[in-house]
Amino acid sequence: MMFKSLFFVITLVVTQSLAADHNTFKDCSRVDFCTNLRTRQPSNDYSVDPDTITTNANTLSATLRPNSGGTDLVLTLTGLQEDTFRVKIKEVDSGRYELVDVLDGEPKPTDFNGVARDDTSITVSTNSNSNSARVTFSPFSIEFSKDGLLEVVFDGDKLTLLETEVNAPFSFGVKFPQAVQLYGIHEHCETLALKNTAPGGTDPYRLKNSDVGGFEIESPMALYGSIPVLYGHGPKATSGVFLHNAAQQWVETTSSSAGTTQAYFMTEAGCLDLFVLLGPTPTQVVRQYTQLTGTAHLPQIWVLGYHQSRYSYDTQELVKDVAANFDSHNFQLDAIWLDIDYTDGFKYFTWNPDTFSDPVEMQNVLNGTNKKLVTIIDPHIKVEEGYNVYDGALAKDLFVKNADGSVFQGSCWPGLSSYMDFLNPEARDFYGSMYSYENFQSTTATLAGIWNDMNEPSVFDNSLEMTLPADAIHHGNVKHQEIHNIYGFLHTMSTHKGLLERDNATKRPFILTRSHFAGSQRFAAIWTGDNTADWPYLLAEVQECLNSNILGIVLCGSDVGGFFNNPSNELYERWYQLGAWLPFFRAHSTKDAERREPYLKPEDTQGVVRTALQTRYKHLPVWYTLAFEHTITGDPIVRPLFYQYPEDVSVYKIDDQLLLGRDILVRAVAEAGVESVDVYFPGGGNEVWVSETSDDVQAGNGKVAIPVTRENIPVYYRRGGIVVRKDTVRSNTAEMASDSFTIYYTVDENNTAHGTLYIDDGVSFKYRDENDYTYVNIEVSGDNVTISNIQGDGNYPVIIEKIVRRDIVQMPEGSQSGRYKEIVHTTDASGQLLKNVKIDPKNKTVLRLK
Ligand SMILES: *[C@@H]1O[C@H](CO)[C@@H](O)[C@H](O)[C@H]1NC(C)=O
Ligand SMILES: *[C@@H]1O[C@H](CO)[C@@H](O)[C@H](O)[C@H]1NC(C)=O
Ligand SMILES: *[C@@H]1O[C@H](CO)[C@@H](O)[C@H](O)[C@H]1NC(C)=O
Ligand SMILES: *[C@@H]1O[C@H](CO)[C@@H](O)[C@H](O)[C@H]1NC(C)=O
Ligand SMILES: *[C@@H]1O[C@H](CO)[C@@H](O)[C@H](O)[C@H]1NC(C)=O
């Protein structure tokens, strides 16, 4: 929820529209350092002094001399594993803040296996000389190549480092010679393919975590999170850069023909610490990035179910009533969420004694039907003597300070509030300990997840752009501006630690966070914040979550139905249909919106939503298997088409479609009143796509108008892939835990199909710590379905109930479309029921169908 809803109720009701407050949230022209740096002409300010160059096993160092007076800079260039280089540039004797918490461990260096020098440059190479970085002396630049292909140029022309009384901004340029399209720099409500910005035109993309109510579509305005990663992509190569810096940034982007695609970074403070990722495919560049910042651990299985939230379910009776209605109307539900009103006066870790007089009984009722509870916990702490969290944090000196050393106080939900200084490890420990059963009283294990909101952090002061002042002071005398963009990241780090301790590390914590940064995937899921019940925001859900998925944060979703305003029934139905295909699936709405739980809707709408929920639950094995594979590889769960089909330039701008893994293609229907939509079927002659909702078959030859009804959005399975489902849908994930599997496939031109399946206890870290899981390959060849172990020491039964083979008929060679016929096997060739065949997950089992 957000500030604005409290004060602009009348605007909401009368105009039914919202706009971001451009008075409060500045554009580049109102931010001094951005204005200065943006209009700076290329100036070749620095040259490498060849006499200062030194190299050791994996690092090159040199002094950069200013060409016209000023401070010397130090350049270090380090070779890293996974086809990555690291570039650091700072003043000699720099006092710039260096981030310590973001990376997932110290990056692993790799030795140079070549150093070559001439009069104008020095080149170092790694990975059997397949990667090289050539530093030119004057003009200064660094050219990064992979296998002889120039992929990234650090452009010294535009390098500037300044120091003023209030900040220490810097800028630099990066060129992507092979790229025709830039992606990344989450979070903006923007198309997946980044637009071109330019002085006099579109503002640069801003990264400054901000609580922006009524954010606008297709805008470079900063939103709640920042991932300073930019990918340059073209048919020949994909590469990327990650600016490891948590200060405010602005990024000018130009996507154009190969040779002219480039970006210009303008940063307020902190270090110029840049990772260069050489790909050269989208899969590799994403893996290189997650190697640095980590992957998500597996969610508990219930997290992948459906969640119901509202600002607010504000009495325990209402909570129980909503849960009961989901059951009695046959809608799946795994968790119900409590927004701020459950607290006693917005004091987190307390309960409102009037409206939640018996929270334990409420949790027991929820648990009785296998539902979980998630409650909101924000980072601002009510200033009130006698409130244990406030008293404890004050006594231990754990709040953010003003520049003069006094404790900062600002306004938020409780009124006067102070803000936990999460940069301080002691503050993280203290706040984390509040989640224990002892400290967060009247909570049981049914309270299974936590929602960290307002953690940009939000401060109700427009003159401060709704956040802490830039000169506020954190632990170690660090100015807020140096670490602004990781405040929410550190908040979730504290919560994650607290939740681990709460359950003695026996359960995988679940946290939803609004503010986030590079690496937040290690602690939390995200949602896209306070959106609006309007069609463009439905599309934005795909755009933003595809973006976050290629930037490591795989668990992403949006407020289904839209946070502000009331969706039409058609929009509401389409949102459920799409939400079922995004990793995090939660409905949420603001106070002024009409109640809109599915069971309150007309019967026909209920039917559409019921089908959408059932579709989600049937595909749980797909979601869970992909979530596991992400923990190993860093691969996205939902993927843009260009990720899987990098050479097809016509998919580069497609962002109304997603791939769930490799094998399921989904087209959002984000248009009102349509009877057909254009679907792009990728893959050229090699792929064929088989409809999930009709007997339609389409060759991967590009765009086709596909009819849509109210009941369905286009969903296709890839020929040659295998989709493992649980087709008996029950009320929630817990009740489906031991259900058997149904295998769907269509064989490819070689009469084969391939897939994987992952199973574990759905709750604990035993999968990670004790290899307690079953992970199998499923190979179809002709009439044989072979199930064999990939890895894992667990003994989770693979019980196959049915095998559904969809055979393409009526599709002559070279035609675009056809039909399929479904053949359902419940027995093997000997007549034995498939579900009675004991499959040994540790060994190979062949099911012969004929
Ligand atoms: C939930 O209910 C189950 C089944 O009755 C019980 O075993 C479990 O202890 C309960 N959990 C909580 C947190 O109350
Ligand atoms: C955690 O471990 C402590 C000490 O062994 C024990 O007292 C407590 O009950 C455990 N808590 C949980 C949630 O398992
Ligand atoms: C089918 O087999 C041929 C020959 O082995 C191979 O080149 C082709 O890639 C295979 N097709 C698929 C879809 O795997
Ligand atoms: C199926 O398995 C049988 C028995 O193992 C084998 O003889 C046959 O060649 C297999 N068929 C295919 C198409 O792999
Ligand atoms: C796997 O199956 C083969 C053949 O049936 C058998 O010889 C072998 O012992 C089995 N291995 C395990 C680990 O069960």
Q: Is residue 205 part of a domain?
A: yes
- The DSSP 8-state label assigned to residue 505 in this structure reads T
Q: What is the pLDDT of residue 505?
A: 98
| Structure-token pair, residue 382 | 């009510």
- CA–centroid distance, 333 to ligand 1, in Å, is 17
Question: E strand or H helix at 626, and its extent?
Answer: helix 620-633
Q: What is the pLDDT of residue 685?
A: 80
By DSSP bridging, strand 372-376 and strand 447-452 are: parallel
Q: With a 6 A CB cut-off, is 23 part of the ligand 5 pocket?
A: no
Taking each helix axis from N to C end, the angle separating 359-368 and 316-328, rounded to the nearest 10 degrees, works out to: 10
Smallest CA-to-CA distance from 820 within 693, 707, 728 is with 693
Atom of ligand 1 nearest to the CA of 364: 14
Q: Is residue 393 part of a domain?
A: no
Atom of ligand 1 nearest to the CA of 367: 1
CA atoms within 13 A on the CB side of 421: 24
Q: Is residue 315 part of a domain?
A: no
Atom of ligand 2 nearest to the CA of 504: 1
Q: Is residue 442 part of a domain?
A: no
- The DSSP 8-state label assigned to residue 216 in this structure reads P
User: What is the domain extent for residue 742?
Assistant: 633-848
Give catalytic status of residue 45 as yes or no. no
CA distance linking residue 40 with residue 22, whole number of Å: 25
Of the residues 378, 453, 648, 828, which is catalytic? 453
Residue of the nearest CA to atom 1 in ligand 3?
Answer: 750
**The CATH number of the domain where 723 resides is what?**
2.60.40.1180
- CA–centroid distance, 784 to ligand 4, in Å, is 6
Bridge partners for 257 per DSSP: none
CA distance linking residue 594 with residue 612, whole number of Å: 21
Q: Are 82 and 287 in contact (CB under 8 A)?
A: yes
Sorted by sequence, the CB contacts under 8 Å of residue 392 that are 6+ apart come out as: 398, 430
Q: Is residue 677 part of a domain?
A: yes
- CA–centroid distance, 439 to ligand 1, in Å, is 21
Q: Is residue 396 part of a domain?
A: no
**The CATH number of the domain where 195 resides is what?**
2.60.40.1760
- The DSSP 8-state label assigned to residue 341 in this structure reads G
| Structure-token pair, residue 575 | 């949102």
- DSSP per residue over 766-781, as a string? HHHHS---EEEEEEEE
Final residue in a domain of this structure, among 249, 278, 293: 293
Q: Is residue 17 part of a domain?
A: no
Which pLDDT tens digit goes with each residue over 251-303? Answer: 999 999 988 999 999 999 999 999 999 999 999 999 999 999 999 999 999 99
Residue of the nearest CA to atom 7 in ligand 2?
Answer: 504
| Structure-token pair, residue 436 | 């224990």
CA 82 to chain centroid, in Å, comes to 22
Q: Are 526 and 517 in contact (CB under 8 A)?
A: no
Torsion on CA atoms 252, 256, 260, 266, rounded to nearest 10: 10
Residue of the nearest CA to atom 1 in ligand 1?
Answer: 367
Question: SS3 of 23, please?
Answer: coil
Q: What is the pLDDT of residue 810?
A: 83
The bound ligand whose nearest atom lies closest to the alpha carbon of 437 is 2
- DSSP per residue over 395-434, as a string? HTT-B-B-TTSSBP-EEETTEEEEEB-TTSHHHHHHHHHT
| Structure-token pair, residue 138 | 């004057």
Smallest CA-to-CA distance from 590 within 543, 544, 529, 540 is with 529
CA distance linking residue 495 with residue 499, whole number of Å: 6
Q: Is residue 601 part of a domain?
A: no
CA distance linking residue 340 with residue 593, whole number of Å: 16
Smallest CA-to-CA distance from 460 within 340, 401, 350, 380 is with 380
The CA radius of gyration of the chain, in Å to the nearest whole number, is: 27
Sorted by sequence, the CB contacts under 8 Å of residue 165 that are 6+ apart come out as: none
Final residue in a domain of this structure, among 276, 293, 310: 293
CA 796 → CA 121, 498, 603, 789, distances in Å? 58, 30, 39, 12
- DSSP per residue over 113-175, as a string? SEEEE-SSEEEEEETTTTEEEEEETTTTEEEEEETTEEEEEEEEEEEEE---SS---EEEEEE
Ranges assigned E (strand) in 469-549: 473-474, 478-479, 511-513, 525-527
CA 361 → CA 358, 365, 368, distances in Å? 6, 6, 10
- DSSP per residue over 450-475, as a string? EEE-STTT--S-GGGTTS--TT-EET
Give catalytic status of residue 530 as yes or no. yes
Amino acid making up residue 107 = P
Of the residues 530, 534, 635, 760, which is catalytic? 530
Bridge partners for 660 per DSSP: 638, 664
By DSSP bridging, strand 447-452 and strand 511-513 are: parallel
Taking each helix axis from N to C end, the angle separating 425-433 and 487-502, rounded to the nearest 10 degrees, works out to: 50
- CA–centroid distance, 507 to ligand 2, in Å, is 12
Max Cα distance, the chain (Å): 87
b or e along 613-651 (b: 16 or more beta carbons within 10 Å of the residue's beta carbon)? bbbbbbbbbbbbbbbbbbbeebbbbbbbbbbbbbebeeb
**φ/ψ (deg, to 5) at 246:** -110, 15
pLDDT beneath 70, residues of the chain: 1-18
Q: What is the pLDDT of residue 587?
A: 98
Final residue in a domain of this structure, among 240, 266, 293: 293
Number of folded domains in the chain?
A: 2
**φ/ψ (deg, to 5) at 276:** -115, 120
CA distance linking residue 784 with residue 267, whole number of Å: 58
CA distance linking residue 389 with residue 434, whole number of Å: 8
CA 843 to chain centroid, in Å, comes to 36
Cα 265–267–269 angle (5° rounding)? 155
